[in-house]
Amino acid sequence: TSQPSTVSRVETFWIGHNLLAASEEDGCAECEEGTWCIGGSKTSCPDHSWSERGSSAEEQCECLLGYYGPGRGPCASCPAGSWCPGGEEARACPDNSSSPA
């Protein structure tokens, strides 16, 4: 287990881990859903993407349903004629089907 490095009485950082704490008394808390944390800093995922609780890298932010793109974004709206289950790819609609843009 890593030992915390106290930066001030207000904030405690566990360097190199996906943990963030508001105060020494609170201890370290796991990074929230929709964010990623490293070195004591919390960053929101890019627009139209989400991450699991405890994420430690922007690449762990995945595009939401109806969007596609690489980890870290940007996530684009699903194009006409395809469906996007979330993640990196837009999939073509099967024969004899369609989807709006």
Q: How confident is the model at residue 101, as a pLDDT? A: 62
User: Is a pLDDT exceeding 70 seen at residue 51?
Assistant: yes
Give the C-alpha separation, 89 to 11, whole Å: 39
What is the band of 91 on the pLDDT scale with cuts at 50, 70, 90?
very high
Give the C-alpha separation, 76 to 23, whole Å: 38
Helix (H, G, I), strand (E, B) or coil at 65: coil
Q: What is the DSSP letter of 42?
A: E
- Is the N-terminal amide bond of 4 cis, ω within 30° of 0? no
For the chain, give the mean pLDDT.
77
Classify residue 83 as left (phi > 0), alpha (psi -120 to 50) or beta. Answer: beta
pLDDT by residue (tens digit) across 15-27?
444 555 444 455 6
User: Is a pLDDT exceeding 50 seen at residue 10?
Assistant: no
